[in-house]
């Protein structure tokens, strides 16, 4: 564990920076001069367009997102930024819409009803579809294999249909949660174990199927939009085992042969903390296939080449995601647009403001020594798609990328700061020390010199229950060893992913002050003799 969080008293000291204790930099007059482009008036001009009802919430793969991409491209072009993707500004992403072409499922020879008894997601179906049958189902509880608990012990699953609960872990204490990396590792081990045993199919018991809404059914019939990142393609290559989710009623029908129910098994396992795996002799057959249609989707990139013959080969990346969650699904809603003014129209606006400031500086002969890539990414709300795509298909070498500064929600006051004296003078700074102590120190110095905000490090705590560090686009840069800082306002309740996230609620002076902090940090990174050293392990611990 990071020593910063070993004691409560030390953690509390690290909640916020005290810039009076940090040695400031010598203020750069040019940086200050050109920062004037980052102002509330310019911010309002951009955000009032991007977060307007006309843009329909900018959902990835829809007209609203395409309109936003076109707007950002045109603005980058108007500033004189170069299009770095074969002369263009769009980095195309391999996005497709998957639809279920056909499915059937029978138990004891009796057909079951799709979307009532069972569910098959198109993205879990291989390109060749699936078809299987048999009467050898094995119930394996939660599908867990740990030192103290093993659902597979003494159970033969080879070439069988596996039945398991969709979620849960009886080994955890009340309120305890596994961190993201542990969950991912557990899932990988389970998938490997299933593959090694040539499992015929995986059937999960999912109570949500018993209460599917009409909106959900309609959305699923419209298709599943996925991006073909390397991880998705690899998962598709490995995940050739059919996966079907079934209702509680159908699960109880399968368990009837052993005179038990889902509720009885869950109670038995939780009370005893021991597995209750068993074989079920029930004839079962299923088949399914899918169709695939390409969907327009792109990151928008604008490139400002550095002025130093050597340092210009290195790149500072400034990111924000321009997508949001689109239109409200409820047909009875009075406000049908999730405008996403703060999430993340505000961060996207910040990138546009910084692009203006840096291009103004270069036109005046004060261009940065290193190159700067202004990149607004798509698909963040779907699972960090755009940034993951860039990390796998970088336009500029990862080895030459010295840092990513990511602005995602910088326009409002989060719940913890409402009504407090510093409510208009703070920002959550996330991840600045995870990979580079030098970047963390520089961030403090920049703030002490120029913006004098409260830097709150709450979300750097590895015990953060929200796991904020993993939830925005900077993480896909950190994954490949690039130092990052994520700037975030902490708004997780009021209007988050709701129609109320509108331009009228944005604090534009606060938005621009946070954007200036990002800008000044980028200015230092782009002009310093040396790039920030990667001296931390990605979790805030010094490298050994």
- If asked whether residues 402 and 510 sit together in one domain, one would say yes
pLDDT of residue 345: 98
Rounded to whole angstroms, how far apart are CA atoms 111 and 117?
10
Q: Does residue 523 contact residue 368 with C-beta atoms inside 8 Å?
A: yes
The structure tokens listed for 361 are 């500086």
- If asked whether residues 102 and 78 sit together in one domain, one would say no
Q: What is the CATH number of the domain that holds 31?
A: 3.40.630.10
Q: What is the CATH number of the domain that holds 257?
A: 3.50.30
Work out how many domains the chain is built from and give that number. 2
Instruction: Give the structural domain span for 191.
Output: 97-293
Other CB atoms within 10 A of residue 292 CB: 14
Each residue's pLDDT tens digit, 18-66: 555 788 999 999 999 999 999 999 999 999 999 999 999 999 999 999 9
Q: Which one has a higher pLDDT value, 5 or 126?
A: 126
CA angle 276, 281, 287 (to 5 degrees): 105
pLDDT over threshold 60, residue 1: no
Q: Does any domain span residue 365? A: yes
Q: Does any domain span residue 88? A: yes
pLDDT of residue 12: 35
- If asked whether residues 341 and 266 sit together in one domain, one would say no
pLDDT of residue 444: 98
Instruction: Kindly report the length of the chain.
Output: 544
- If asked whether residues 256 and 366 sit together in one domain, one would say no
Instruction: Spell out the residues 6+ positions from residue 221 whose beta carbon is closer than 8 angstroms to its own.
Output: 99
Q: Does residue 123 contact residue 98 with C-beta atoms inside 8 Å?
A: yes
pLDDT over threshold 90, residue 418: yes
Of the three residues 236, 271, 293, the one that is the final residue of a domain is 293
Of the three residues 293, 326, 342, the one that is the final residue of a domain is 293
176: confidence class by pLDDT, cuts 50, 70, 90? confident
The structure tokens listed for 522 are 């980028």
Residue 53 φ/ψ, nearest 5 degrees? -60, -30
Q: Does any domain span residue 541? A: no
pLDDT of residue 17: 54
Average pLDDT over residues 291-319: 98
Burial of 299 (0-12, 13-18, 19+ CB in 10 A): buried
Rounded to whole angstroms, how far apart are CA atoms 512 and 502?
17
pLDDT of residue 307: 98
Of the three residues 293, 328, 361, the one that is the final residue of a domain is 293
Instruction: Spell out the residues 6+ positions from residue 365 whose beta carbon is closer than 8 angstroms to its own.
Output: none
Q: Does residue 120 contact residue 100 with C-beta atoms inside 8 Å?
A: yes
Provide the mean pLDDT of the chain: 93
pLDDT of residue 239: 62
pLDDT over threshold 90, residue 339: yes
4: confidence class by pLDDT, cuts 50, 70, 90? very low
pLDDT over threshold 90, residue 446: yes
Average pLDDT over residues 206-214: 92
Average pLDDT over residues 292-297: 96
Q: Is 259 left (phi over 0), alpha (psi -120 to 50) or beta?
A: left
pLDDT of residue 16: 55
pLDDT over threshold 90, residue 235: no
Q: Does any domain span residue 288? A: yes
| DSSP annotation string for 259-273 | T--HHHHHHHHHHH-
277: confidence class by pLDDT, cuts 50, 70, 90? very high
Q: Does any domain span residue 153? A: yes
Please tell me the least confidently modeled range out of 235-244, 334-343, 495-504.
Answer: 235-244
Q: Does any domain span residue 419? A: yes
Each residue's pLDDT tens digit, 238-260: 667 999 999 999 999 999 989 99
Closest Cα to residue 254, out of 205, 210, 194, 200? 205
- If asked whether residues 412 and 322 sit together in one domain, one would say yes
Each residue's pLDDT tens digit, 517-535: 999 999 999 999 999 999 9
Average pLDDT over residues 474-502: 97
Please tell me the least confidently modeled range out of 13-17, 273-277, 472-476.
Answer: 13-17
Rounded to whole angstroms, how far apart are CA atoms 311 and 528?
9
Closest Cα to residue 318, out of 355, 344, 343, 345? 355
Label the pairing between strands 243-246 and 278-280: unpaired
The structure tokens listed for 531 are 């790039």
pLDDT of residue 480: 97
- If asked whether residues 230 and 279 sit together in one domain, one would say yes
Mapped onto helix, strand or coil, the DSSP state of residue 137 is: strand
E strand or H helix at 417, and its extent? Answer: none
- If asked whether residues 289 and 308 sit together in one domain, one would say no
| DSSP annotation string for 452-506 | --EEE-GGGSTT-TT-GGGSSTHHHHHTTT--EEEEE---SSTTTTSTT--GGG-
- If asked whether residues 331 and 460 sit together in one domain, one would say yes
Q: Does residue 237 contact residue 274 with C-beta atoms inside 8 Å?
A: no
- If asked whether residues 350 and 398 sit together in one domain, one would say yes
**Which residue matches tokens 């709701």?**
498
Label the pairing between strands 484-488 and 426-430: antiparallel
- If asked whether residues 346 and 479 sit together in one domain, one would say yes
The structure tokens listed for 365 are 């002969």
pLDDT over threshold 60, residue 324: yes
Q: Does any domain span residue 204? A: yes
Q: Does residue 338 contact residue 8 with C-beta atoms inside 8 Å?
A: no
Q: Does any domain span residue 75? A: yes
Q: What are residue 375's DSSP bridge partners?
A: 301, 319
Q: Which one has a higher pLDDT value, 10 or 498?
A: 498
- If asked whether residues 119 and 159 sit together in one domain, one would say yes
- If asked whether residues 339 and 453 sit together in one domain, one would say yes
Q: Which one has a higher pLDDT value, 214 or 300?
A: 300
pLDDT of residue 19: 52
E strand or H helix at 291, and its extent? Answer: strand 284-295
């Amino acid at each position: 564990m990071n020593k910063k969080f070993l004691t409560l008293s030390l953690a509390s000291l690290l909640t916020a920076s005290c810039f009076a204790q940090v040695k400031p930099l010598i203020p750069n007059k040019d940086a200050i001069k050109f920062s004037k482009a980052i102002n509330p008036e310019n911010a309002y001009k951009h955000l009032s367009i991007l977060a307007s009802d006309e843009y329909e919430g900018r959902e990835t793969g829809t007209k609203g997102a395409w309109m936003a991409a076109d707007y950002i491209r045109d603005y980058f072009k108007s500033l004189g930024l170069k299009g770095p993707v074969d002369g263009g500004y769009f980095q195309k992403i391999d996005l497709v819409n998957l639809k279920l072409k056909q499915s059937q499922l029978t138990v004891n020879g009796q057909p079951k009803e799709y979307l009532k008894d069972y569910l098959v997601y198109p993205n879990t179906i291989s390109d060749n579809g699936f078809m299987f049958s048999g009467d050898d189902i094995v119930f394996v509880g939660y599908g867990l294999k740990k030192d103290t608990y093993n659902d597979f012990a003494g159970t033969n699953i080879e070439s069988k249909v596996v039945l398991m609960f969709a979620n849960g872990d009886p080994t955890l204490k009340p309120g305890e949660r596994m961190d993201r990396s542990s969950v991912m590792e557990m899932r990988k081990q389970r998938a490997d174990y299933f593959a090694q045993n040539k499992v015929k199919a995986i059937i999960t018991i999912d109570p949500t199927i018993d209460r599917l809404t009409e909106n959900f059914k309609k959305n699923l019939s419209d298709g599943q939009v996925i991006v073909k990142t390397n991880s998705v393609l690899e998962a598709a290559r490995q995940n050739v085992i059919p996966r079907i989710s079934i209702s509680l009623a159908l699960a109880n029908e399968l368990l009837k042969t052993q005179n038990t129910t889902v509720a009885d098994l869950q109670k038995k396992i939780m009370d005893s903390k021991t597995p209750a795996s068993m074989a079920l002799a029930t004839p079962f057959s299923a088949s399914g296939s899918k169709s695939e249609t390409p969907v327009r989707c792109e990151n928008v990139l604008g490139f400002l080449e550095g002025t130093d013959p050597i340092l210009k080969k290195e790149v500072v990346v400034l990111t924000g995601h321009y997508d949001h969650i689109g239109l409200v699904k409820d047909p009875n809603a009075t406000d049908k647009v999730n405008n996403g003014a703060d999430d993340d129209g505000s961060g996207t606006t910040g990138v546009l403001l910084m692009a203006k400031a840096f291009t103004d500086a270069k036109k005046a002969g004060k261009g940065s020594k290193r190159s700067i890539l202004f990149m607004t990414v798509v698909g963040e709300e779907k699972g960090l798609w755009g940034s993951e795509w860039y990390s796998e298909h970088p336009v500029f070498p990862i080895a030459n990328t010295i840092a990513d500064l990511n602005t995602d929600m910088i326009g409002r006051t989060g719940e913890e700061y409402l009504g407090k004296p510093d409510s208009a003078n703070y920002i959550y700074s996330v991840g600045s020390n995870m990979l580079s102590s030098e970047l963390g120190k520089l961030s403090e110095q920049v703030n002490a010199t120029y913006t004098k905000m409260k830097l709150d490090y709450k979300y750097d705590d590895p015990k953060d229950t929200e796991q904020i560090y993993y939830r925005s686009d900077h993480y896909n840069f950190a994954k490949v060893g690039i130092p990052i800082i994520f700037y975030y306002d902490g708004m997780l309740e009021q209007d988050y992913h709701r129609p109320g996230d509108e331009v009228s609620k944005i604090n534009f002076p606060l938005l621009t002050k946070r954007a200036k902090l990002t800008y000044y940090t980028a200015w230092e990174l782009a002009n310093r003799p040396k790039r920030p050293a990667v001296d931390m392990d990605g979790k805030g611990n010094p490298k050994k």
